[in-house]
Amino acid sequence: MYSHINLDSQTIPDNPAAVYRRGDYLGINLVRQQEEPLPGVGSPASASKIRLYYGAEYLWGERDAFSTARGSVNGADQRMMLFLIAEK
């Protein structure tokens, strides 16, 4: 997924807070599911199975705001998450 916004905002004289100007957001995730027999449990035909879910997610974002008396409030950040879930 991807999101982009670009605004032509103006500051309000009585409010010293920065006004949001531009932002981008990107998110990518990959997930896989598979079933595997549990080793050493019964005959192959009646073997119990375990279901596995695993994957990764990556997030990135960036924002840009008009400068204020307190300085710039621009920034970027990123995050990655890995996961593994097993259920019987």
pTM reported for the whole predicted model: 0.64
CA gap 1, 28 in Å, rounded = 6
Reading the chain (88 residues) residue by residue, the pLDDT tens digits are 999 988 776 666 666 565 677 889 999 999 999 988 877 655 565 568 889 999 999 999 998 876 655 555 678 999 999 999 998 8
CA gap 73, 63 in Å, rounded = 8
CA gap 46, 81 in Å, rounded = 35
Contact status, residue 71 vs residue 49, Cβ threshold 8 Å: no
Give the domain ranges of the chain.
2-87
Q: How many CB atoms lie within 10 A of CB 2?
A: 9
Pairing label, strands 75-87, 2-6: unpaired
